[in-house]
Amino acid sequence: MLISGAVLAAAGTAVGLKKIDYDRIARVGILSASFFVASLIHVPIGPASIHLIMNGLVGLLLGWAAFPAILVALLMQGVFFQYGGITTLGVNTMIMALPAVICYHLFAPLLAKGRKAVLAAAFGCGFCAVLLGAVIVGLALMFTEEKFLEVATLVVTAHLPVMIIEGLITAFTVVFLQKVQPSMLPTFDGSPQKTANSQK
């Protein structure tokens, strides 16, 4: 399981790396850093608080480059906070980056539509990115041990509030970005940030 996770993550990262040329490394690197910082933000929900994940947003902003970006952010989390070890790095990257890429392909085309559609698409993107992540966790646990089905359903239900909040925040963030810096978002031809460097 750990090995297949690592292999898949390596494949995804390889594709992501192919997609970024050296001109974009500074950009991806700094966005990866922002992703890391965003995951430190704790948002209150009832008496507790959750920290943001934002993998949906990263997917929207980076496309396939989300793979290496998330891998790097996770590696840094490991080094700074000792979250997880080396062996789970691959699986964790899959859990966060694969949904990011899937959501990018599902929802990026919708961003060119009207305001309502954008709001819905962005909400869906944030929501599904976490949902798919939880589903992958569930699948991973099921492959390890069939009896884990209960745990897996638990994982998905436990993340329901997280999904809703991620959805809301992703939606608001995307609306904000559309007003402030529309060139950061993918355009309808599906190429993120092509225009960003030439805008000035």
Residues 6 or more apart whose CB falls under 8 angstroms from that of 120 comprise 110, 171
* 62 lies in the binding site for another protein (CB under 8 A): no
User: 36 to 55, contacts with another protein by CB under 8 A?
Assistant: 36-38, 40-41, 43-46, 52, 54
Q: Which of 56, 63, 68, 186 binds another protein (CB under 8 A)?
A: 68
* 93 lies in the binding site for another protein (CB under 8 A): no
Element holding 48 (H helix, E strand):
strand 48-51
Structure tokens at 104: 């990018």
* 11 lies in the binding site for another protein (CB under 8 A): no
* 85 lies in the binding site for another protein (CB under 8 A): yes
> What does DSSP assign to residue 39?
T
Q: Which of 9, 53, 61, 163 binds another protein (CB under 8 A)?
A: 61
Burial class (CB in 10 A: 0-12, 13-18, 19+), 2: middle
**For another protein, which is the closer residue by CB, 114 or 180?**
180
* 92 lies in the binding site for another protein (CB under 8 A): no
Using CA atoms, how far residue 106 sits from 7, 8, 59, 120, 174, in Å, is 24, 20, 11, 12, 15
Query: What are the φ and ψ backbone dihedral angles of 150, each rounded to 5 degrees?
Result: -60, -50
**For another protein, which is the closer residue by CB, 32 or 92?**
32
Q: Which of 7, 86, 117, 160 binds another protein (CB under 8 A)?
A: 86
Helical H segments across the chain, by residue range = 2-19, 22-38, 55-62, 66-81, 89-107, 115-144, 149-158, 160-180
- Residue 53 near residue 39, CB atoms below 8 Å: yes
Tell me, by CB under 8 A, how many residues bind another protein: 69
Q: Which of 9, 53, 66, 73 binds another protein (CB under 8 A)?
A: 73
Residues that bind another protein (CB under 8 A): 2-3, 13, 17, 20-23, 25-34, 36-38, 40-41, 43-46, 52, 54, 57, 61, 68-69, 71-73, 75-76, 78-87, 145, 147, 150-151, 154, 165, 168-173, 176-177, 180-181, 184, 193, 196-197, 200
